[in-house]
Structure 1
Amino acid sequence: MSIDRLFPNLTEDNQAELERFGDILKRVWPLKAKHREKLKYDIRDMSRGLTTERSERKIDYLSEARFLSPYLTYFLPWNLYRMSRLFTGLELDIPDGSEVADLGSGPLTTVMALWMSRPHLRERRINFTCMDRAPKSLQAGLKLFNAVAGENSPWRVRTVKANFTDHIKRKADLVIAANAFNELDWSGRVARPQAEKLAQHMAGATTETGRILLIETGVRLTGRIIAEMRTQLMQTGFKPIAPCPHVEECPMPATGQGAPWCHFNFSVKDAPTWLQTLSAEARLEKEGVSMNFLYLSRKGGKDWGAVRIISEPFKFHGGRAQYACSHKGLTLVDHGEKQRPLFPGQSLVPNWPANPKTDLKSGALILPNTKEKR
């Protein structure tokens, strides 16, 4: 039986906001005809710089004007789409008068995604402190946010040139780091002390009832980052709310070449038309996007034995199966020939056999899906 679902389809309102963002970009960040013609090549070059050639990329690349236009017109909108899908399904309520700290904010992606996807928050007085090393990116984001939210928005956004661990004046009810920590060096012996320092900083900047949200784009490197940050944040007293259905050791830490990592794939069928057209022009068409994230508080979520589906379905012994996470560790949910697979991010109430079998390939415990989905 399915009991919840991360990454649901966008609401009509959210779809409309993302579609409208294309017009806002043209108005707030207009491009000359020659730059617009060259844009598809700039996007493609920047994509290589963020993936296959990332070791050659400068750490403050968004301070350079030549990178800002392709980022704002392509990468920012796709991140807005990813975050909108996450925020739509995530239990995320920010009370009136709250303080939110956004570390490595870039062009205010998180703030805009929150506004687009959580309409019930739009009338609340929320104070955002957006911190980044690239002031040009922050300034561009602030212009875009003001155009998105309008002049009468009660949200107050303060931009600060700062590093990840610089002092935050007011303790925050929500501390966010989205698409930020992957910019750092996580090689070798650097990873653990770096995660420890970041975790202590974030925990120290959060109120007693505050929450921490980490978001990354769903590749193996970010899976390792999220797993390491999970370990270190739990050392400070924080516990996962989502996606982890337990407080045990992460069974998908991405520590080896073939080791699994926790990430979710979902469809782009409701992404804005203009963005899909631009992606095709740049020869970067998407059939789906990936994300990994971690949402925590000192109280944590309800630990009642749920199993969280992680992977897409695959063939298994004549039927279909999916990898999942549970308090027992890496789990393989066997749907057999009759049961319908679930969406990545959905949870189910397990009916564990007395002596579960082990999948020889992955080492995962096999959980037969014996219940009808509702």
Structure 2
Amino acid sequence: MEEKIQLKWYEKRQGIKLKDKIKSEQRKKEFLEKQNLKKNNAPEKKQLSSKRIYSIQKSKFVKPLEDLFSAENIPEDAKKIIEDFDKVIESTHPLNSKQKLLLPRQIRSLSHFLTDERGERRLGYMNQTVLLSAYVHYYTWWNLVRLVRLFSNIDKNFFDVKDSSVFLDLGSGPLTVPLALFLSRPELRKKCITFYCLDISQQALAFGENIFLSVAARLKCEPWKIVRVKGELGSALKEKADFVTSANLFNELCDDFKNPPDFLAKKYTEQILSYLKFENENARYIIVEPGDPRSARLVSLMRDSFMRRGFFPVSPCTHFCQCPMDGKKGGKWCNYAFKTDNAPTELKKLSEKSELPKERAVLSFVAFQKSKAGQIDGCNCFSDERPEFISMRITSELIKLPGGRSGYYACSEKGLLLVVTTQQFFSGQKIRVLNPQKKLPIDSKSGACILEL
């Protein structure tokens, strides 16, 4: 039997009528009943929600958000320059018929010199005219193929710099990185940039500057101000830089092979930071190295060092957690690759003549930007990430799995993932899926968490 509703003495004094109080109590009762009904139906609703999550995972949300190597994002004029880069070299440093005939053999000898004899070679090998010519015709051309593809696909905000900014390329050689940036980022061509190029070979710097000016002329753009600096890593400059770059620099420093990689990472980090303009809240650095385990190990350790010094990884990382592909012995190393089917025809012919064909272009890299918050700690995700989703970067090509299945390795805040899927992805693609609520099983071979899409 329901309790009889009556007016309290203070309600009577306030002029509240009994019928109004009855209506109010009735509405309150209905509201409480609805709340209790929601609580009682919560498990059933949760089950329906999980079905919805499964439906979303299977359809709408499993698609690439970003691709590190999409050829579609390369500017058309840059594609033309890269396709005809041999003609660009010919216009500044022509070879006679005999030199052209000997070029494949010289490239092959240079490759042997840079790999098999790397412990004995001198760092100043680019001061030798024959070796420098072979390097530019083969290695610089291939490096432009790799770097232009990469720089064209990194988030444009990373290259959003002020006019009159100062850039510095460490170990610049024949200005490969400045060339790649000029080709891949048309918005930077419009900027008034002073580009310091540091290398121990003055001959290589001069060779590269001539090519750079030729490329700028072909693109009908005002060239950046190139400042050639002969010196090694650590040499003093007249001014600090807003943006520092290096490509294949640390792979060349063979004198440091005897030192442990964690020591080298800290050493190199301090040297690079000494060049950056710290009053610039958006100071940036990008490191690109070959995609071999030793180089990838160093890149991963430098990622940790830079994060401890207040820089966050813009790309390729999708998180701030410990790198799950740090290149430790027996583990996976962070590297990305793309097929060279669309590489310049003449470059592929030259590579075959030199007996050095390339089917894949591989690299390891991290792009850093200074954090206004200071030191980076923990597994903070990027500001545009939502907790119900998890982003990951595909780090491998297709893997054949037992039972006729297939998948890919991926890097995420949950660590190394083995993504089992029938969908096709490519190395370097960033995908986002709904965050799995259940504990993921572990792959016995790799130690990766298995995520089925």
User: Normalising by the residue count of structure 1, what TM-score does the alignment of the two structures yield?
Assistant: 0.93
1:261 corresponds to which residue?
Answer: 333
1:332 shift after superposition: 0.9
* CA distances 1:24-53 after superposition (whole Å, capped 9, x unpaired): 111211112222111101101111222233
Structure with higher RCO (Cα < 8 A, 6+ apart): 1
1:154 shift after superposition: 4.3
Q: 2:192 aligns with which of 116, 122, 125?
A: 125
Match status 1:14 vs 2:78: yes
1:152 shift after superposition: 5.8
Alpha-carbon contact 2:323-2:415 (below 8 Å) kept: yes
Trace 1:286-365 onto structure 2 (pairs within 5 A). Answer: 286-299=358-371, 302=382, 304=385, 305-317=390-402, 318-335=404-421, 339-351=422-434, 352-365=436-449
**Secondary structure at 2:105's aligned position in 1?**
helix
Alpha-carbon contact 2:284-2:368 (below 8 Å) kept: yes
* CA distances 1:115-139 after superposition (whole Å, capped 9, x unpaired): 1111222122111000001111101
1:199 corresponds to which residue?
Answer: 269
1:159 shift after superposition: 0.5
Q: 1:148 aligns with which of 198, 215, 228?
A: 215
Q: 2:313 aligns with which of 227, 232, 240?
A: 240
Q: 2:167 aligns with which of 100, 123, 126?
A: 100
Task: In structure 2, give the amino acid aligned to 1:366.
Answer: I
1:252 corresponds to which residue?
Answer: 325
Counterparts of 2:290 and 2:263, CA distance in 1: 23
1:93 shift after superposition: 3.0
Counterparts of 1:353 and 1:65, CA distance in 2: 61
Match status 1:224 vs 2:297: yes
1:94 shift after superposition: 3.3
**Secondary structure at 1:306's aligned position in 2?**
strand
**Secondary structure at 2:138's aligned position in 1?**
helix
1:353 shift after superposition: 4.4
Task: In structure 1, give the amino acid aligned to 2:432.
Answer: V
Task: In structure 1, give the amino acid aligned to 2:206.
Answer: Q
Runs of 4+ deviating beyond 6 Å: none
* Structure 2 unaligned spans of 5+: 1-61
User: Normalising by the residue count of structure 2, what TM-score does the alignment of the two structures yield?
Assistant: 0.77
* Greater share of strand: 1
Report sequence identity in percent: 36
Alpha-carbon contact 1:223-1:292 (below 8 Å) kept: yes
Alpha-carbon contact 2:262-2:298 (below 8 Å) kept: no
Radius of gyration: which is bigger? 2
1:56 shift after superposition: 2.4
Match status 1:34 vs 2:98: yes
1:372 corresponds to which residue?
Answer: none
* Structure 1 unaligned spans of 5+: 370-374
* Greater share of helix: 2
CA RMSD, 1 decimal: 1.8
* CA distances 1:46-85 after superposition (whole Å, capped 9, x unpaired): 1122223322221221122221010011110000110011
Q: 1:74 aligns with which of 138, 152, 173?
A: 138
Counterparts of 1:137 and 1:190, CA distance in 2: 30
